[in-house]
Amino acid sequence: MILIAEILISALLVISGLFGLVGSYGLIKLPDPMTRLHAPTKATTLGVGGVLVGSMIYFAVLGGGFSFHELMITLFLFLTAPIVAHFIAKAWLHRNMTPADLPPTGRPKGWAGQEATAEADRTPQRPRG
């Protein structure tokens, strides 16, 4: 049983390291901010998640007890990393794109949040002061 746990832990650590390496390489080499966002998000979720799962297995089998803290960190990571990536992508989309730049959605409403921007562009602004 201990040998199987050690092999599983080693495999998780090696796979996690590979995900971290590929994610950091993608962060440097990918050309666009939106594609650069994808690489570290996956590396964080799968790389750090694999290390945490390996650590949980280690302490459950070899360390003498189950670690509840690592389970909570893993759950928090798996829940927050995709949401944060979505928020960053949405902010980049609103900051750098106009409704004319975006493809049609095929619905009566366009992209979420872009309608207000389109109306503001058409409405003349009064100078303040």
Tell me if 105 is assigned to some domain.
Answer: no
- The separation between CA 107 and the C-alpha centre of its own chain, rounded to angstroms, equals 28
The number of folded domains in the chain is: 1
Number of other residues whose CB lies within 10 A of the CB of residue 67: 16
Q: What is the pLDDT of residues 71-90, one digit of tens each?
A: 898 889 888 888 888 888 88
Tell me if 58 is assigned to some domain.
Answer: yes
Tell me if 88 is assigned to some domain.
Answer: yes
Element (H, E) at 16: helix 2-29
Q: What is the pLDDT of residues 10-51, one digit of tens each?
A: 999 999 999 989 888 888 888 888 888 888 888 878 888 899
Tell me if 72 is assigned to some domain.
Answer: yes
For tokens 């730049």, name the residue.
Answer: 101
Q: Which residues of 43-64 are buried (b: 16+ CB within 10 A; e: fewer)?
A: bbbbbbbbbbbbbbbbeebeee
> pTM of the predicted model, to two decimals?
0.68
State which residues form the domain around 29: 2-99
Tell me if 117 is assigned to some domain.
Answer: no
Tell me if 92 is assigned to some domain.
Answer: yes
- Give the tokens for residue 3: 């040998």
